[in-house]
Structure 1
Amino acid sequence: MSMIFFACVVRVRDGLPLSASTDFHFNQDFLECRKKLKALSSVLARYPSRGTAKGRDLSIHFLSSGEIACMAICSSSYSTIMAFCFLEELQWEFAASYDTTSISLASRPYAFLEFDNAIQKVKHRFNYMSGSAMKVSWEKVEGELRLQPPVQLKLEDAELMNGMANGGHAGIEYKGVFVIFPSMERVTPLGILSLVLNIMCAALNLIRGVHLAEHSFQEDYEGIGNVVAFFLPFLACVFQCYLYLFYSSTRKVKTFVLLFSVCLCNIYLYGLRNLWQIAFHIGVASLSSYQILTRQLMEKQPDCGV
């Protein structure tokens, strides 16, 4: 039977579920599709505003606008146009009920669970209403989909489940490339400061290294060790920025190796740099290392049984 089985509203930036229909379906295919929807919701910010993940029996549709996204699980035979008409109306209802401030400040899953009543009403109407009964909305959405077709996603069962098992991070195959996106905690003001200082140190090392290299090449490669001692901290600063912004395996070991490299190279450069300059570069590297080690993966949000 062609129908909408499940719908939810999530926050785009972090996938936090704000509300959902409380229908209970115990079909295994549906439960698997729910897991895929949950994984997909955590990476919606990476995709265009409309998307569809087609399955053999069930499909996931999503529509995002501003801070919120509406998602639905429908039977694969259900009209795509009808599905997006449903999501548009659901999105309008939610936006009319809650302001952006309350959405931004929501900290717990399903903070607006009472919106389930509105979801049920809209879902019931769309499940038992033909496309001809909503001609205006149908034509509008049909035109929009023709101009901007929804992105087509392919959710691979085994790969997606593996991604979710590894700390609840989503894995999506998009245009033939499978990627796992671990979610990190928010960047802090101190973290931003460490990034700015790191970029400044990297630039100083690069400029001094290039300038010294020009003279070294003119003098039969004398002082090549100093050139290397400038370029290594430059690379270390770049990698420290990367480690702070993106999750990486064995990041603790990498962080200490980079810090050790910066310290060793700056000590080697004593003479070309005074003690204050050396202390500044080592201090920035230490601050960056601390920020890398204290920025953790975002905790998996509980499902709360909805």
Structure 2
Amino acid sequence: MSLILFAFVVRVRDGLPLSASTDFEHNRELQERKQQLRKISKALGLLPDRGTVKGHDLNIYFVSSEGVSYMTVCHCSLPVATAFCFLEDLRWEFTACFNSTVVALAARPYPFLEFDSTIQKLKQHYNQSGGPALQVTLAEVQEDLKLHPPQVITLDEVELSNGTANGHMEQAAGSGQNVRLEPVTAPGILSLVLNIMCASLNLIRGVHLIEYTFQDDYEGIWNVVAFLLAFVCCVFQCHLYLFHSSWKKQKSLTLLSVIILCNFYLFGMRNMWQLLFHMSVASFSTVLILTRKLQHRTIDCGV
């Protein structure tokens, strides 16, 4: 049984296919992996130089070097070191035949079809012998993999990288302009009103304490800080609910944690019911922030 099923050489810059092996197997999973290879090739500029995409029976391995990526589909029983050794041999053979200038000037897909025969010979050698001719080379690859293990890439990461590479994710990565969220709901309006109320209470108490602190009690400065910090967090919670932001989950959970810590610190300045009210409003707002999703956009047929 062949363990190395398919090999693919592409240009990293734009995913242009340069050469590929000829295969005669009509394996359904192999066809799926070949489609995934093409998706990965479009996002290579945003992926690590060496990676793995795991499948059910077949895995994808790739190595990128000097603007060219060498990719292969192998059976999962093939040792990882052997797969990357095959890619290193493939890279060596390709660079010996074509220089970087020729690769950069390639304008059409598969300009180096004649390299297919070299790929086939290399595949046949590995499938028959189970590895490279020189075991020293395999040992070197194994040692290198221990020091720098390949990153395991998921298909979700590939889709995200594809969107970024094609410019579809640039707006979402920014401040949220031109990205539309789902309409504000009645609970959302309630959370905004309650958050504004909490922010106002924190600001009023903080400003009031500033005068008293600077006149009589300098040790109370941390109470002022806690009130004002809670005020700022409430304002940011309103902003996160109204506008799209990257790292929304991390930001919202951080704001919630800070508000809870500030209210615990203010125990004594507020009674238990007041503390529960402020922390409940913050928790309610956090849930709504995390559950408000982006609005699905229709395809612009005019583009």
Shorter-chain TM-score bucket reads: 0.5 to 0.7
Q: Between Structure 1 and Structure 2, whose CA radius of gyration is higher? A: 2
Say whether residues 1:54 and 2:54 are aligned partners.
yes
Look up the equivalent residue of 1:3 and give its one-letter code: L
Give per-residue Cα distances to partners, 1:162-215, cap 9 Å, x unaligned: xxxxxxxx615xxxxx8734536xxxxxxxxxxxxxxxxxxxxxxxxxxxxxxx
Mapping of residues 1-306 of structure 1, within 5 Å:
1=1, 3-131=3-131, 133-155=133-155, 171=159, 180-183=163-166
Distance 2:165 2:12 in 1: 15
Distance 2:164 2:34 in 1: 18
- The percent of aligned pairs where both chains have the same amino acid is 46
Q: Please state how far the C-alpha of 1:132 moved relative to its aligned partner.
A: 8.0
Report the 3-state secondary structure (helix = DSSP H, G, I; strand = E; otherwise coil) of the residue aligned with 2:111: coil
Report runs of 4+ in structure 1 exceeding 6 Å deviation. Answer: none
Report the 3-state secondary structure (helix = DSSP H, G, I; strand = E; otherwise coil) of the residue aligned with 2:72: strand
Distance 2:125 2:14 in 1: 30
Aligned partners of 2:66 and 2:100 also within 8 Å = no
Look up the equivalent residue of 2:104 and give its one-letter code: S
Distance 1:56 1:103, change over 3 A: same
Distance 1:132 1:49, change over 3 A: closer
Q: TM-score if structure 1 supplies the norm length?
A: 0.52
Look up the equivalent residue of 2:42 and give its one-letter code: S
Aligned partners of 1:2 and 1:78 also within 8 Å = no
* Equivalent residue pairs, number: 175
Q: Please state how far the C-alpha of 1:24 moved relative to its aligned partner.
A: 2.7
Give per-residue Cα distances to partners, 1:49-104, cap 9 Å, x unaligned: 11011111110000110111100000111111000000000001000101111100
Q: TM-score if structure 2 supplies the norm length?
A: 0.53
Distance 1:4 1:27 in 2: 13
Look up the equivalent residue of 2:69 and give its one-letter code: A
Distance 1:65 1:142 in 2: 18
Report the 3-state secondary structure (helix = DSSP H, G, I; strand = E; otherwise coil) of the residue aligned with 1:5: strand
